[in-house]
Amino acid sequence: MRNISPSEVKNASVSNLKSLCEELRKEIKETVSSCGGHLSSNLGTVELTLALHRVFDFPRDKVVFDVGHQCYTHKLLSGRASVFHTLRKEGGISGFPKREESEYDCYGTGHAGTAVSAALGIAKARDLKGENFDVIAVVGDGSFNNGLIYEAFNSLKILNTRILVILNDNGMSISPTVGGTHEILDEMKGAHVPDEDIKLYEKFGLRYLGVYNGNDLDELLPAMERAKEALKFESVLLHVTTKKGLGYAFSENAPAETHGVSPHPSEKKEYAQALGEELCKMAEEDDRIVAVTAAMTDSLGLRPFFERFQGRAFDVGICEEHASVLCAAMAAGGMKPYYAVYSTFLQRSFDEIVHDICGQNLPVTFCIDRAGITGEDGETHQGVFDLSFLSFIPNLTIAVPKDIGEFRAMLRASKNFSAPLAIRYPRQGTEGEVLPLEMGKFEVLHSTISDIVVFAAGERCIGLAKEILKKAEREGLAFTLVNARFVKPLDAALLSALHQKYIVTLEDNVLIGGLGDAIARFYRGEERQVVSFGYRDAFIPHGEAGSLSEKYGLDKEKILQTIRSFHARG
Amino acid sequence: MRNISPSEVKNASVSNLKSLCEELRKEIKETVSSCGGHLSSNLGTVELTLALHRVFDFPRDKVVFDVGHQCYTHKLLSGRASVFHTLRKEGGISGFPKREESEYDCYGTGHAGTAVSAALGIAKARDLKGENFDVIAVVGDGSFNNGLIYEAFNSLKILNTRILVILNDNGMSISPTVGGTHEILDEMKGAHVPDEDIKLYEKFGLRYLGVYNGNDLDELLPAMERAKEALKFESVLLHVTTKKGLGYAFSENAPAETHGVSPHPSEKKEYAQALGEELCKMAEEDDRIVAVTAAMTDSLGLRPFFERFQGRAFDVGICEEHASVLCAAMAAGGMKPYYAVYSTFLQRSFDEIVHDICGQNLPVTFCIDRAGITGEDGETHQGVFDLSFLSFIPNLTIAVPKDIGEFRAMLRASKNFSAPLAIRYPRQGTEGEVLPLEMGKFEVLHSTISDIVVFAAGERCIGLAKEILKKAEREGLAFTLVNARFVKPLDAALLSALHQKYIVTLEDNVLIGGLGDAIARFYRGEERQVVSFGYRDAFIPHGEAGSLSEKYGLDKEKILQTIRSFHARG
């Protein structure tokens, strides 16, 4: 796209700005259709972002985008139009704000609810340094459910600084926004705004301005000017409504489905679909089964369950911590809760997993989707830490299926499992057979008399190991291949029975604290050698998942080389 | 104390109940003075808990105590009076509610803000099972700042169930409660309660009843009856005020200081005091330094800093997540934030440490107090996971001082350190020298020509290693002792230079994912043997810290035995 200068945005007539919006919308639509990315949220916020650039003076002023997936117009207006076609590609620009990418990105985001805290911190630093600029947080109504936002609001008067919070209210948090806060916001959009709704925010120290149509520049620009003026004296909450997917009928009608768009239709199956199918079957036979999600019913595959078992299905909004405690307590009350969540968002529940679920040894099952390298969304969305942050928690069993069939088998086995269980899996995979399995037992996939054994966990690594096995066999090398489908507890009986001296481990996780460390710990003191492959100690940026995986540690050739060198020694 | 039967509580006259309160207060005061524990919060809630037992029918009805440190009267009234003298002692009763201890403890707590979520989960399970009983959450005003509570309130209408939330408003959250929510609650205690304050809670689906004097049975008992009646139709928020420390002048006047009481005055020094002293000195020279706490100014040693640098000191209430993001953003804005927090409560910030601080490589320093086994508070307060949940986070440096002097040196070195840093230390220790140190460098404390080297991290383990060294030398055994004061990054130069074949590691942390794993990983593939000592994979209950430490893995005799066997082989 052509470069749009700040002066163009500052000086254009409103009618020219409206044309610019169409230009931006077209660029976003085209780029997302080729690169993938967040479509509906970006189509909805074109005018809002343009108004910010019209009224404020970036990068002197600072804007923090909550979650950050709605930053495309901001990128297009801040000198990145010419590289926008590299969106989400390895080495290209990120789909999220990133400090190292541009001085216009003052604070990186990816997870929900951080923007108000971040804006407060930046504003407070400004005050302490005696500087003078405006700080803005752009927050969706979905994040208004999140506890972190509330903690930040509670802090406004303590910190005694000034920020502008723009509530971008589109009624969605991937799934439609739910809960008490949402009902309050909805009332505020009605013909008669209850006085107490406004006072609620005023009590926290925010002057309330709203509600304005965030897709109508004629209404929005004066409102933004008014907010800027008010911000000279106090913190401001500017409440605007926008329409997710605006300008693209397909997206307007299906905002949840077009929230995240993949560039290439895949032949592969979704683990999420299997989750929905299995949970429905299990729930028919077992009244104790309930399902919980934090605003991601569809992408986690829970839609069928929500439709068939309405009273036992809970979308609690973007409240990962609460979701975990709720599951713990329902389990304490005799139910059998399944909490489906993306690996990266499970991080938000870490304390509750330790303190509430595993600390009380309660039978909650975590269905951890998007585990391992996920690819194009980058650092904040890779699921490469879960084995590490779960492995040391007492009472927890960690399962890693090799394919969707095994995932189904694990779910079925979970029904009568009376302790905390985490099953982690990637988005997509192959179907595979559903064979009964025993908790904590590995599976020998290929057995030879060689002195080398490879332990692999998860579909990516099992696939990789099989490829390597083929190549190795062509070279006259052989190894035993074990599906290490339980990272905790390890299959001690099998590990002890194996005679092999040379051990290779493969995992779709950072190396520190994962499967490799666990197996090496098991064999410590024995005359065996363990070489582990997984990701090195770094945040993994955006790019194609397979390519990143190889680059950051699961390098086929290096693994093969290790096997060759073991063979030479053995 | 004598056993108090449910029928006594149900049938006694109010005046006899008042006498019973004095009896309970006396028992609590005496037991805490001999066993240690939470004094002021328990003295403040005697009447409230008695009223609960008078009006509700436990264990059929269920009560969840938020944080749980105020559960002493509940324990005394639920069949545990005769064992109350074993409070917080190894094998005795816990200072917190514990499911395995009594059927009257329906849900275990320890960290703030979980009770409303937990009550909702228990109530929802009840509804789904077609059962009929009341569920009550007792929550302090301090926890009303916490995001998790807000997430639970947001969920009330989604879950469509009924609970009673009792807001025990004493104006304290260890430190005095702060922030916008607190101001709202304060208004509600005034002569004229603003209508909108009540409507706020009503909008979330809670019928508001208040404000009642929670220390006056004449006022409280009818209020509790009214709440029980209202609960038949909808969820209820019963707002009562109590006085922390009531009935013990010393505690009433110093509720923060008597929040947690130690049974034995210690000769040892507090790391917290050194933190306050060093931060003050550093802040005088460096305007960028700011300090943040989540409601624990005094126990973390920050009082002097808060007094001298008022504008650069922030108590944000019990909001650990927000505290972390605020630090990240202040660092992004050019400040140098120090976030002081107990190890166990840092768990609440895990996602923000990954996503906001380390993901952006921002120079925030975590001062992690109460690391390692802490003892009498039990499972929910042991600080034995931090090395494990921090070690795999890219960009983070983890320091573990051997004494207070080294802690001071680390703080001084942190001033010009431009990346995330975690310093973890126990509550108390010895002063020691302040020697300049380089980040990432170990210290050789004792060097011999033996083929054995011991790496120890932290004051408990260095002390243990020195004791063992003395014993070993008496037996004619020798080993090199290294102060492994950086668990990440390891001192690679030193590790590579060491020739010893036999390696022992000691850490005051669970074994999985800690120092031992890191050193073993470093030496993997070499002809060395690593044997690690730390805590086994279990939640460690309450007891005396030294005794627990030995029992759960840091067993002096076993370590010495390992050294003997290495010596025999070497």
- For position A515, which CATH number holds? 3.40.50.920
A325 closest CB neighbour out of B118, B287, B326: B118
- Which pLDDT value is given to residue B209? 95
Over residues A225-246, the mean pLDDT reads: 96
User: Does some domain include residue A1?
Assistant: no
- What token pair was written down for A85? 């076609």
Cα–Cα distance for residue pair B501/B530, rounded to 1 Å:
8
User: Looking at the whole model, is its pTM more than 0.95?
Assistant: yes
Residues of chain B in contact with residue A532, where contact means CB-CB under 8 angstroms, are 524
User: Does some domain include residue B79?
Assistant: yes
Put simply, whether A419 touches B (Cβ < 8 Å) is: no
Catalytic residue among A27, A47, A320, A321: A320
Co-location of A78 and A116 in the same domain:
yes
- Which pLDDT value is given to residue B317? 96
Give Cβ neighbours of residue B523 (< 8 Å, ≥ 6 apart): B495, B503, B530
- Which pLDDT value is given to residue A194? 79
Per-residue pLDDT of chain B (570 residues; tens, 9 = 90+): 899 999 999 999 999 999 999 999 999 999 999 999 999 999 999 999 999 999 999 999 999 999 999 999 999 999 999 999 999 999 999 999 999 999 999 999 999 999 999 999 999 999 999 999 999 999 999 999 999 999 999 999 999 999 999 999 998 877 888 888 888 888 888 877 778 788 888 889 999 998 999 999 999 999 999 999 999 999 999 999 999 999 888 888 888 888 888 776 678 899 999 999 999 999 999 999 999 999 999 999 999 999 999 999 999 999 999 999 999 999 999 999 999 999 999 999 999 999 999 999 999 999 999 999 999 999 999 999 999 999 999 999 999 999 999 999 999 999 999 999 999 999 999 999 999 999 999 999 999 999 999 999 999 999 999 999 999 999 999 999 999 999 999 999 999 999 999 999 999 999 999 999 999 999 999 999 999 999 999 999 999 999 999 999 999 999 999 999 999 987
CA distance A258 to chain B (A): 25
- What token pair was written down for B304? 């002097």
- What token pair was written down for A320? 């990962």
Put simply, whether A383 touches B (Cβ < 8 Å) is: no
* B 48-67: CB under 8 A from A: 64
Indicate the pLDDT class of residue A50, thresholds 50, 70 and 90: very high
Test mutation, A96, A102, A155, A182, chain B, max B CBs within 10 A = A155
A537 lies in which domain range? 443-569
Q: List the one residue out of A273, A129, A322 whose CA is nearest residue B124.
A: A322
A454, A480 contact by CB (below 8 A): yes
Residue ending a domain, among B235, B261, B287, is B261
A147 closest CB neighbour out of B150, B327, B350: B150
Co-location of A416 and A463 in the same domain:
no
Put simply, whether A202 touches B (Cβ < 8 Å) is: no
Give Cβ neighbours of residue B173 (< 8 Å, ≥ 6 apart): B112, B140, B141, B142, B143, B145, B295, B317, B318
Cα–Cα distance for residue pair A559/A561, rounded to 1 Å:
5
- Which pLDDT value is given to residue A190? 82
Cα–Cα distance for residue pair B497/B482, rounded to 1 Å:
13
Q: List the one residue out of B354, B424, B349, B351 whose CA is nearest residue B382.
A: B424
- What token pair was written down for B383? 């600080």
User: Does some domain include residue B438?
Assistant: no
- Which pLDDT value is given to residue A316? 97
Indicate the pLDDT class of residue A1, thresholds 50, 70 and 90: confident
Co-location of B496 and B416 in the same domain:
no
A180 closest CB neighbour out of B111, B153, B317: B153
Q: List the one residue out of B71, B158, B140 whose CA is nearest residue A319.
A: B158
User: Does some domain include residue A435?
Assistant: no
User: Does some domain include residue A266?
Assistant: no
- For position B347, which CATH number holds? 3.40.50.970
Give Cβ neighbours of residue A4 (< 8 Å, ≥ 6 apart): A20, A76, A77, A81
- Which pLDDT value is given to residue A179? 83
Co-location of A248 and A288 in the same domain:
no
Put simply, whether B163 touches A (Cβ < 8 Å) is: no
Complex-level ipTM beyond the 0.90 threshold: yes
Q: How many CA atoms lie within 13 A of A241 on its CB side?
A: 12
Query: How many A×B Cβ pairs under 8 Å?
Result: 354
Residue ending a domain, among A361, A394, A429, is A429
A244 carries an active-site annotation:
yes
Q: Give B176-239 as a DSSP string.
A: EP-SHHHHHHHHHTSSS--HHHHHHHHHHTEEEEEEEETT-HHHHHHHHHHHHHHTTTSEEEEE
Over residues A441-457, the mean pLDDT reads: 97
CA distance A406 to chain B (A): 27
Co-location of A138 and A246 in the same domain:
yes
- What token pair was written down for A23? 């230009």
* B 503-542: CB under 8 A from A: 510-513, 517-518, 520-521, 524-525, 529-532, 537-539
Co-location of B73 and B200 in the same domain:
yes
- Cα dihedral B557, B562, B568, B570 sign: negative
Q: Give A205-245 as a DSSP string.
A: TEEEEEEEETT-HHHHHHHHHHHHHHTTTSEEEEEEE--TT
Put simply, whether A27 touches B (Cβ < 8 Å) is: no
Residues of chain A in contact with residue B194, where contact means CB-CB under 8 angstroms, are 199
Cα–Cα distance for residue pair A152/A120, rounded to 1 Å:
8
Cα–Cα distance for residue pair B563/B570, rounded to 1 Å:
10
A407, A378 contact by CB (below 8 A): no
Query: What's B353's DSSP letter?
Result: I
- Which pLDDT value is given to residue B435? 96
User: Does some domain include residue B382?
Assistant: yes
- Is there a contact between B332 and A521 if contact means CB atoms under 8 Å apart? no
Residue ending a domain, among A261, A285, A310, is A261
Q: Give B288-328 as a DSSP string.
A: TEEEEESS-TTTTT-HHHHHH-GGGEEE--S-HHHHHHHHH
Residues of chain A in contact with residue B487, where contact means CB-CB under 8 angstroms, are none
- Which pLDDT value is given to residue B189? 83
For B189, other C-beta atoms within 10 Å of its C-beta total 14
Give Cβ neighbours of residue A381 (< 8 Å, ≥ 6 apart): A110, A342, A344, A370, A374
Catalytic residue among B162, B348, B427, B460: B348
Co-location of A118 and A245 in the same domain:
yes
Q: Which secondary-structure segment (H or E) carries A342?
A: strand A336-342
How confident is the model over A470-489, as pLDDT tens digits? Answer: 999 999 999 999 999 999 99
- Which pLDDT value is given to residue B182? 85
Co-location of B113 and B183 in the same domain:
yes
Residues of chain A in contact with residue B385, where contact means CB-CB under 8 angstroms, are 354, 392-393
- Which pLDDT value is given to residue B403? 98
User: Does some domain include residue B437?
Assistant: no
Co-location of A166 and A231 in the same domain:
yes
Name the residue in chain A with its Cα closest to that of B181: A154
Co-location of A129 and A59 in the same domain:
yes
- What token pair was written down for A53? 């650039």
* B 262-291: CB under 8 A from A: 287, 290
Co-location of B355 and B374 in the same domain:
yes
Test mutation, A103, A154, A335, A535, chain B, max B CBs within 10 A = A154
Put simply, whether A397 touches B (Cβ < 8 Å) is: no
Over residues A423-444, the mean pLDDT reads: 97
Instruction: Report how far apart the first and last C-alpha atoms of chain A are (Å, whole number).
Output: 59
Mode of pairing for the β-strands spanning B452-457 and B172-173: unpaired
Residues of chain A in contact with residue B111, where contact means CB-CB under 8 angstroms, are 351, 355
- Is there a contact between A128 and B325 if contact means CB atoms under 8 Å apart? no
A148 closest CB neighbour out of B315, B321, B359: B321
Give Cβ neighbours of residue B384 (< 8 Å, ≥ 6 apart): B343, B372, B373, B508, B509, B510, B535, B540
Q: Helix, strand, or coil here: B483?
A: strand
Number of structural domains found in chain B: 3
- Which pLDDT value is given to residue A188? 83
Q: List the one residue out of B117, B157, B534, B119 whose CA is nearest residue A351.
A: B117
Angle, vertex CA A67, rays to CA A64 and CA A70, nearest 5:
80
- Which pLDDT value is given to residue B15? 97
- Which pLDDT value is given to residue B257? 80
Provide the total of helices (H) and of strands (E) in chain B, helices listed first. Answer: 23, 23
Put simply, whether B186 touches A (Cβ < 8 Å) is: no
Is cis: bond before B211, omega within 30 of 0? yes
- Which pLDDT value is given to residue B255? 83
Query: What's A85's DSSP letter?
Result: G
A111 closest CB neighbour out of B126, B152, B355: B355
CA distance B433 to chain A (A): 33
Q: Helix, strand, or coil here: A110?
A: coil
B329 closest CB neighbour out of A107, A348, A388: A107
Q: List the one residue out of B287, B288, B283, B286 whose CA is nearest residue B330.
A: B288
Residues of chain B in contact with residue A331, where contact means CB-CB under 8 angstroms, are 121
Residues of chain A in contact with residue B359, where contact means CB-CB under 8 angstroms, are 108, 110, 379-380, 539
B348 carries an active-site annotation:
yes
Q: Which secondary-structure segment (H or E) carries A452?
A: strand A452-457
CA distance B121 to chain A (A): 4
Name the residue in chain B with its Cα closest to that of A355: B380
Q: Which secondary-structure segment (H or E) carries A42?
A: helix A40-44
Q: How many CA atoms lie within 13 A of A521 on its CB side?
A: 26
Query: What's A380's DSSP letter?
Result: G
* B 289-308: CB under 8 A from A: 290
Cα–Cα distance for residue pair A466/A482, rounded to 1 Å:
11
Residues of chain B in contact with residue A348, where contact means CB-CB under 8 angstroms, are 350-351
- Cα dihedral B215, B221, B225, B228 sign: positive
Catalytic residue among B244, B336, B370, B408: B244
Query: What's A372's DSSP letter?
Result: B
Catalytic residue among B270, B320, B321, B352: B320
User: Does some domain include residue B59?
Assistant: yes
CA distance A430 to chain B (A): 30
B244 carries an active-site annotation:
yes
- Is there a contact between A180 and B204 if contact means CB atoms under 8 Å apart? yes
Phi, psi of A465 (to 5 degrees): -60, -40
Put simply, whether B122 touches A (Cβ < 8 Å) is: yes
Please identify which residue in the block is written with the tokens 């590790």: B495
Co-location of B60 and B140 in the same domain:
yes
Residue A60 burial (C-beta neighbours within 10 Å; 0-12, 13-18, 19+): exposed
Cα–Cα distance for residue pair B314/A155, rounded to 1 Å:
9
